[in-house]
Amino acid sequence: MTLNQKVSAKTYVLLSLLIASLAVNVVLLYSLSSFTQRMAVSSLTPHYNASSSIYIVGVMGGSHVKGVAMLLEGMLVEGNGQVYVSTTPKIGIELQEAAEKAFKAAQRFVGIDALNLDLMLRVVSNESVYVVDGPSAGAAVAVLASSMLLNVPIRKDVVITGTIDEYGRIGPVGGILYKAEAAAKMGAKIFLVPKGQSVDRVYVRVEKKITPSVIIVYYKPELINVEEYLRSKGYDIHVIEVSTLSEAFNYFKVQG
């Protein structure tokens, strides 16, 4: 073997060893990264069964429209990033979609990719509620999921209504006045509403007598400051506007 051939063979061996060493390092770094991520989620959600609850408010229709407060219970379990909602009372498609967006918003907010966790939700009501639907509980679901991912408690005297997208932006909903009164009745001290909805438009029944036997009934729109209305009813509650999950979550934090 010539000198050049010996040098070439030695270079080939060294290059092979270098490539093998780099490959091993890449595998080790990937394994370490995956392990660190799993440990981070595991430490935030011990044994994959972190649980919490939050009050949500809705509107019941029929002959007498009114607001209703319900308890939303949540639990994080080992899974693959799905959201499951109990069917008693029955759950509508809009609420299911809102819950899925809310779970994504919560993960983005806390900075955790919960691909190995499922969010389980259950609505508990003291009233006879047959169907719970609509996107207005989305913001509440996002707050609840965030609290469990962070493994921190949240205040039970704060209630929120509002839609939410996966980027954590809170959007408008209907029935603010009815929902606010329901929140106040169950003892809430703070009611969080979407931006621009601390004043609600309601329709007041007006009767106009034309003749002794003819009465015209119509509904006149009227703007009502929600907090002032609740205080006139004897409730001690603050109505605060929020536009993002980050803003809302600050009000739910337990101080001290």
241-252 tens-digit pLDDT: 999 999 999 999
Contact criterion met (CB below 8 Å) for 48 and 117: yes
Is 232 designated active site? no
224 and 98 in a single domain? The answer is yes
Sheet containing 51-60: give its strands across.
51-60, 66-78, 117-124, 83-85
74 and 200 in a single domain? The answer is yes
Confidence of residue 32 (pLDDT cuts 50, 70, 90): very low
228 and 174 in a single domain? The answer is yes
Q: How far is CA 90 from CA 20, 124, 145, 166, 172, in A?
A: 58, 11, 21, 24, 24
40 and 74 in a single domain? The answer is no
What type of residue is 82?
Q
Beta carbons within 10 angstroms of residue 124's beta carbon = 13
128, HSE (Cβ side, Cα atoms, 13 Å): 1
For residues 55 and 74, give the distance between their C-alpha atoms in angstroms, rounded to a whole number.
11
Give 95's contacts (C-beta < 8 A, 6+ positions apart): 85, 132, 133, 134, 135, 137
Contact criterion met (CB below 8 Å) for 59 and 67: yes
60 and 70 in a single domain? The answer is yes
Is 185 designated active site? no
Confidence of residue 27 (pLDDT cuts 50, 70, 90): very low
101 and 154 in a single domain? The answer is yes
Helix (H) or strand (E) holding 57: strand 51-60
Provide Rg for the chain, Cα atoms: 27
Confidence of residue 50 (pLDDT cuts 50, 70, 90): confident
Q: How far is CA 45 from CA 130, 136, 148, 149, 152, in A?
A: 33, 27, 7, 6, 10
pLDDT of residue 221: 86
Say which CATH number the domain at 243 has: 3.30.230.10
54 and 1 in a single domain? The answer is no
Domain that holds residue 117: 46-252
Contact criterion met (CB below 8 Å) for 172 and 194: yes
Give 192's contacts (C-beta < 8 A, 6+ positions apart): 139, 158, 159, 160, 161, 162, 240, 241, 242, 248, 251
Contact criterion met (CB below 8 Å) for 188 and 237: yes
For residues 184 and 194, give the distance between their C-alpha atoms in angstroms, rounded to a whole number.
17
204 and 151 in a single domain? The answer is yes
| pTM over the 0.85 mark | no
- The predicted model gives 222-226 an average pLDDT of 94
Tokens of 118: 């499922």
What type of residue is 222?
E
164 and 68 in a single domain? The answer is yes
Share of residues in the chain with pLDDT > 90 (%): 57
Confidence of residue 17 (pLDDT cuts 50, 70, 90): low
The catalytic residue among 136, 146, 147, 198 is 136
Tokens of 146: 């965030």
